[in-house]
Structure 1
Amino acid sequence: MNLHRLLQARVANGKSVKVGLIGAGKFGSMVLAQAKHIEGYHVVAVADLDIPKARQAFDRVHWSEAQYSANSIADAHRDGSTWVTDDAAALFQDDQIEVIIEATGHPLAGVRHAMAAIDAGKHLVMVNVEADVLCGPYLAKRAAQQGVVYSMAYGDQPAAICELVDWVRCSGFELVAAGKGMNFAPHYRYSTPDTVWGFFGWSDEEVAAGDFNAKMYNSFTDGTKAAIEMAAVANATGLDCPDRGLDFHPAGLQDLAQVFKPKSDGGRLDKPGLVDIAASREPDGRVVLNNIQYGMFVTFRAPDQYARDCFKQYGLLTDDSGWYGSMWRPFHLIGLETSVSVLSAALRNEPTGCSNTYRADAVATAKGDFAAGDYLDGEGGYKVWANAIPATLSAQHNALPIGLAHHVKLKRAIRKDQIVTLDDVDIVDDLDLHQIRLAQRKMLSKT
């Protein structure tokens, strides 16, 4: 509740929080949209491989051309404007930039940018959940060693879930489950970029008229994005993924506490302490009443009869017994809120969610039967979906993480719904990432 006061104090001293942004896509555009409205919040430089597209992002969010026409990073510092470049390394090398926002969405580039930023002594806000679930625990440890903050991005669902989890624990309740809503039914699992628009109910004409990325939308549809985000939440909170992967239990607001409690108490969880998804569709496709498709939630148990009575007295939505309650946030605004993470890192030296443990993984799982010699096409593609499972099981399987499943060749055939292993594919590139993954495996949490 004090971030704005801290920012005002810095402004009163004639200083600003200086930020570097990597990636000017949708998320980056949303970051820029709000940055110009926050006094003392200076986006010094934006790095994107496509400079003309980055400039279009500024135009789209109503920046004047003069605001993003600095000829150098030195000019940007001097007159409070923004420099646009295709060289991310220039942001790391600048002595005055305090916080880097990594918003490329590319897992391999994200990890490498994070490493460079951390080693340069910059705080890192990792918008790129794909990179975080791939190597987040290793990056968080490295950041701590360097004395900088490694943080999830506020406004995205994982950070909002972490905030709810923190509220439960700081209030003295027993945390039972945490998760988010999602438009999902079981048959969505095998969606491809060719079929994805049918799940949104959009016509070919509507798709042609918009700026839509079929693989990105398919990642949301087939459950891959959910697996990535819930594995990241598990690593940040110490919760677990179900051994078989996320169950996607259909549940509306009125049902959260009833559904997301242990089976031993009439719920649907194998045990307390799990992450999962509140699906907004029944298995037959019907829309769930009062679903939380865009929201996040936690369920928790009263520690004693007095707290249980208070649940009832203050109108908390509970299960039938009254012992289990739920709390939720109905919406999240993605990059429009990410300044909270930036300011928290710069002014409080504190992350808004951080992958401190290695408890979960998002692993590549076959969408069909494929022969040796075929190439996998990664997140949101035709060949694999991601399953969120405990990291201990990922290690036992020697599983291929979804972030390393793009354009890799199969050495042997795989079958539908099989977890793809590192032994199934040719590893010829990205060896630095594989070395980081091996180092991260040594951090495996067995508790």
Structure 2
Amino acid sequence: MPRRSGPRAIAVAAVAAALLAGCAAPGGDRPDPAGTSATPVSDPGCGAGPVVLRARFETGFPLAKALADEFTRQHPNVTWDVREEQYAVLTRNAPRLLADNPPDLVRLPQVSDLVGDGLLRDLDGYAAWFGWDDWPAAQLRPMRVAPGGRPRGAGPLYAMGFSTSVTGVFYNKDLAARIGFREPATLAEFDDALARAKDAGITPLASFNAGATAGLAFPLQGLMAAYGSPSAIDDWIFQVPGARIDTPANTEAARHLQRWLRAGYFDADLNATDYARMIDRFTSGRALFMLDGDWESAALDRRMPGRVGFFLVPPVRAGDPRSAMSGPPTFGVPAGAAHPDCAAYFLNWAVTDPVARETTVRVGGSLPLGPADAPLPPVEPGSVTAATLAAASQLVADGTGMDFIANATGAILAESWTPRLQELAAGELGPEELLARVQADYADQVDG
């Protein structure tokens, strides 16, 4: 089958999916086993015989499993052996997993060190075949890595995603009406709403900070977006030489978070609250706001239909463009994967098949990746999913999204952000020292 040029129309891709499943056999020209170069691929697919794809997905995020189940429904010869693990566990265990017992597909919060160690397959050959190179470049930028593993943001493609997620502020419309809340244009207006909620006896902010999850990284990065440049934060996350996290703008953001903590805007047991408990507090009406990601949109529409709104953390100055943590949750194909062609074929199917794209919106509440002209599945007007999709689309249009600060290195989440933010919440560490210690830990991990 010849490679088609130009953007892929969704309907054509769906037909091609059925054809490739029947006639393409794994094994044509593939990327080399070491994953270090992008040899042109030929007809990547899953063949006609039985295939078992082994995968590691992230606990608590049902989209990947839902897509895997739909893929099997459309391609009955492919079944899955899926194991789910927490984000921090995936990050910590990825090097050993990919070296000793590599699956075919794995959720990878951080890829730089894995690329440097030759543990991930270069996907450029698949990108050329499937036409991913025709997509808006910003969609794939976070998944490109320079030779040697750093910096990220340029170089070969080493991961793919299903969607562009966005983080921001969910709010309970019933509680909002009690304080006369309107979506704020500035950070000062948001602060005013937090204060009015506290005065009304409403917990202003549901959050989590227990375990190895660094939950306060969500509000902190939202405040970093309000005060500073998303590109400067991305430079730090992508390990661009000379980039730092302890900048004046980020220090102001950390001071602002400390003011929220001291004002009692979070629950008193913040450091003992895990993610599930945060969600329960918000959905049961015990908090007005929750800083979280659009992966909760679909569930919130089911549990609180019509009762949840969403906005991006507003800027310090009215009229400035809004920025936010936004990007694709990344999946990689290990260099030692048994079925790399089939795994890559699944990744392409997930962003081009109409049913897969609808699943991404319905289950994940997120904006699907794909060609610029790919139609967006319909959503219910007035739903929180509609609001998060609109926010993600605006960030893509403005180019003001940024990666997650916990993705800077493989160890930065568990070994630095988590303990430092817990110390900040407990009043044992100040904003300046928090960022200085994270920067020192980062330098040791990057240079070490």
Do the structures match in fold with TM over 0.5? Answer: no
Q: TM-score, normalised by structure 1?
A: 0.33
Q: TM-score, normalised by structure 2?
A: 0.33
Larger fraction in helix: 2
Kindly indicate whether structure 1 or structure 2 has the higher relative contact order, using CA contacts under 8 Å at least 6 residues apart: 2
